[in-house]
Structure 1
Amino acid sequence: MRGDHAGLPIAPAAGTTERAPFSNALAARWLQALYDTPLLFTGILDEHGQLREANHASIEGCGLVRDDTIGRPFWECGWWAPDPDLSNRLRGWCEQVLRTGEPLRTESHFFLGDGTRRMVDLVLIPVRDDETGRTWLVPTGLDISDALAARRSREERAQVEADALRRVAAAREREIAVVQRAERRADERLHRMVAVALDLLSTETVEDLVAVMMDRAVPVLGADGGAVIVREGVERLRAVVGHGLGPQVQVTYGDLPYDSPLPACWVARTGEPLLLPDRAAGVAFTPEMIEVYEDTGRDAWAFLPLRVGLRLLGSLAVAWRAERRFRPDEITMLEAFAAQCAQALDRIQHLAAQRAGALAAQRLSEALQHSLLTSPPTAGALDIAVRYQAAGHGMHVGGDWYDAFQTAGGSTVLVVGDVTGHDRDAVAAMGQLRNVLRGLAYDSEDGPATLLGRLDRALRGLQVRALATALLARAEPTPAGWLLRWSNAGHPPALLRGPDGGVRLLADHDLMLGVQPGAPRREQTVQVPAGSTLVLYTDGLVERRADVLDEGIADLMLRLEQVGDAPPDRLCDLLLDLAPVDHEDDIALLVMRCQAPARPETGGLTLARAASWPA
Structure 2
Amino acid sequence: MQRVPDVSHVDLAAVFDVLPTPYAVLDTDLRFVAVNRAFLESSGRPRHELIGRLVFDVFPDNPDDPGTHATANLEASLRRVLRTGRPDTMPLQRYDVADPDGVFRPCWWSPVNAPVLDEAGRVVLLLHRTENVTRYVTERQAQRFDPGVDLYDDPEDRYRAEADLYVRGQELRAALTAEAVLVERLAGTVQVALQLSGAQSVAELTDIVIGSGLGVLGAGGGAVAVRTPEGDALELTLTDSLGERARRTFQRVPLGSPLPVAVAAATGEVVVLRDVEAALGFTPQMQEVVTSTGLGTWVSLPLQAAGRSVGGLTIGWRDPQDFTDRDFELMRAYAGQCAQSLAALQAHEQERRVAGEQRRLSEALQRSLLTAPFEPDHLQIAVRYLPAAAEAQIGGDWYDCFLPPSGTTTLVVGDVAGHDRDAAAAMGQVRNLLRGVSIALGEPPASVLAALDRAMHHLGVGVIATAVLAQVEQSPAEKAAGLRTLRWSNAGHPPPVLIAPDGTARLLQAQPDMLLGLDPDAERADHATALEPGSTVVLYTDGLVERRDAPLQDGLEWLRATLEQLHHLSAEELCDALLARLDGSPEDDVALLVLRAHPEDGPRPAEAGPQVLPPAAPGAAPPVVQP
The alpha-carbon distance between structure 1 residues 243 and 604, as it changes in their structure 2 partners (threshold 3 A), is closer
- Candidates 575, 592, 604, aligned match of 2:578: 575
Question: Structure 1 CA distance, aligned partners of 2:584 and 2:216?
Answer: 45
Going from structure 1 to structure 2, the CA distance change for 1:590 and 1:310 (only over 3 Å counts) comes to: same
The CA distance in 2 between the partners of 1:248 and 1:590, in whole Å, is 61
- Partner in structure 2 of residue 339 of structure 1: 336
Return the offset for 1:582: 3.0
Native 8 Å contact 1:381 1:598 kept in 2: no
The aligned residue for residue 379 of structure 1 is: 376
In the TM superposition, residue 506 of structure 1 has moved relative to its aligned partner by 1.5
2:76 maps to what in 1?
none
1:417 Cα offset (Å) = 0.9
The 1:212–1:320 alpha-carbon spacing in structure 2 relative to 1, beyond 3 Å, is same
Match of 1:218 in 2: 214
The CA deviation at 1:361 is 1.7
Offset of 1:259 from its aligned partner? 4.0
Letter in 1 for 2:506: R
Query: Would the alpha carbon gap of residues 540 and 181 (structure 1) be closer, same or farther in structure 2, given more than 3 Å must change?
Result: closer
Q: Does structure 1 residue 560 correspond to structure 2 residue 563?
A: yes
Asked whether the equivalents of residues 409 and 472 of structure 2 are also in contact (C-alpha less than 8 Å), the reply is: yes
From the superposition, tell whether residues 483 and 307 of structure 1 become closer, same or farther in structure 2 (CA, over 3 Å): same
Q: Name the counterpart of 2:430.
A: 433
What is the one-letter code of the residue matched to 1:229?
A
Query: 1:174 corresponds to which residue?
Result: none
Query: CA shift at 1:188, angstroms?
Result: 6.2
Match of residue 230 from structure 1: 226
Confirm or deny: 8 A CA contact 1:304 1:317 kept in the other structure.
yes
Please identify the structure whose Cα radius of gyration is greater: 1
Structure 2 residue 319 is matched with structure 1 residue 317: no
| CA distance in 2: counterparts of 1:181 and 1:319, whole angstroms | 23
Q: Do residues 201 (structure 1) and 197 (structure 2) align? A: yes
Contact 1:206-1:240 at 8 Å conserved across structures: no
1:520 aligns with 2:516: no
Q: TM-score, normalised by structure 1?
A: 0.64
Cα shift readout 1:456-494 (whole Å, capped 9, x = no counterpart)? 111111222222211110113441232221111121111
* Alpha-carbon distance in structure 2 between the residues aligned to 1:491 and 1:551: 16
How far residue 342 of structure 1 moved from its aligned partner, in angstroms, is 1.4
| Alpha-carbon separation, structure 2, partners of 1:181 and 1:514 | 65
Partners in 1 of 2:455 and 2:194 — Cα distance?
Answer: 55
Asked if the contact 1:476/1:483 (under 8 Å) is kept, the reply is yes
Q: CA deviation at 1:328?
A: 3.3
Aligned to 2:90: none
Matched with 1:360 is 357
Tell me the residue number matched to 1:296.
293
Q: Alpha-carbon deviation of 1:424?
A: 2.9
- Give the share of equivalent positions with the same residue, in percent: 44
Instruction: Indicate conservation of the 8 Å contact 2:407/2:623, yes or no.
Output: no
Check the 8 A contact 2:177/2:183 in 1, yes or no: no
Relative distance call for 1:256 and 1:488 in structure 2 (3 A) is same
Aligned partners of 1:358 and 1:395 also within 8 Å: no
- Give the one of 268, 271, 284 matched to 1:274: 271
Q: Any residues of structure 2 matched to 1:5-20 within 5 Å, and which?
A: none
Aligned 8 A contact 1:308 1:346 in 2: yes
Aligned residue runs from structure 1 range 150-549, under 5 A: 193-214=189-210, 216-232=212-228, 233-246=230-243, 249-394=246-391, 396-477=393-474, 478-479=478-479, 480-508=482-510, 509-549=512-552
> Structure 1 CA distance, aligned partners of 2:279 and 2:180?
34
Q: Deviations over 1:257-301 (max 9, x none)?
A: 444443322332333322222223222223222222222111111
* Other structure's SS at 1:394 match: helix
Question: Structure 2 length as normaliser, TM-score?
Answer: 0.63
User: What root-mean-square deviation, in Å, do the aligned CA atoms of Structure 1 and Structure 2 show?
Assistant: 2.8
Measure the CA separation in 2 of the matches of 1:490 and 1:181: 65
Alpha-carbon distance, 1:598 to partner: 8.2
Q: Which runs of 5+ in 1 are unaligned?
A: 1-179, 611-615
Counterpart residue identity of residue 225, structure 1: G
Measure the CA separation in 1 of the matches of 2:536 and 2:421: 33
Q: Could you say which residue in structure 1 is the equivalent of 2:119?
A: none
Query: Match of 2:563, SS?
Result: helix
**Distance in 2 (alpha carbons) for counterparts of 1:183 and 1:261:** 36
Q: CA deviation at 1:430?
A: 1.6
Measured in 2, the distance between the counterparts of 1:234 and 1:506 equals 62
Shift of 1:251: 4.1
Distance 1:339 1:394, change over 3 A: closer
Q: Distance in 2 between matches of 1:523 and 1:181?
A: 79
Report the counterpart of residue 11 of structure 2 in structure 1. Answer: none
Q: Could you tell me how far 1:552 is from its partner in structure 2?
A: 1.8
Alpha-carbon separation, structure 1, partners of 2:568 and 2:217: 72
Q: Distance in 1 between matches of 2:440 and 2:485?
A: 19
Between the aligned partners of 2:362 and 2:196, the Cα distance in structure 1 is 33
Q: 2:588 and 2:297 mapped to 1: Cα distance? A: 57
Inter-partner Cα distance in structure 1 for 2:330 and 2:506: 73
User: Are the counterparts in 2 of residues 486 and 523 from structure 1 also a CA contact under 8 Å?
Assistant: yes
Q: Retained in 2: the 8 A contact 1:210–1:242?
A: no
The answer (yes or no) to whether the contact 2:405–2:623 under 8 Å persists in 1 is no
1:309/1:551 CA distance change after superposition, 3 Å: closer
Structure 2: 5+ residue runs without aligned partners?
1-175, 603-621
Question: 2:9 aligns to what?
Answer: none
Task: Give SS of 1:436's match.
Answer: helix
SS in 2 for 1:374: coil
**Contact 2:487/2:529 (8 A) holds in 1:** yes
483 and 212 in structure 1: CA distance in 2 versus 1, 3 angstrom threshold: same
Given that residues 409 and 443 in structure 1 are in contact (C-alpha distance below 8 angstroms), is that contact kept between their aligned partners in structure 2?
A: no
- Asked whether the equivalents of residues 210 and 238 of structure 2 are also in contact (C-alpha less than 8 Å), the reply is no
Deviations 1:484-541, CA, capped at 9 Å, x for gaps: 2111112111111222222222211222222332222211122212222111011111
Aligned AA (1:227): A
The SS at the match of 2:265 is helix
CA distance in 1, matches of 2:247, 2:201: 16
Q: CA deviation at 1:453?
A: 0.9
**Map of 1:131 onto structure 2:** none
Contact 1:540 1:579 in 2 (8 A): no
Q: Partner amino acid for 1:456? A: D
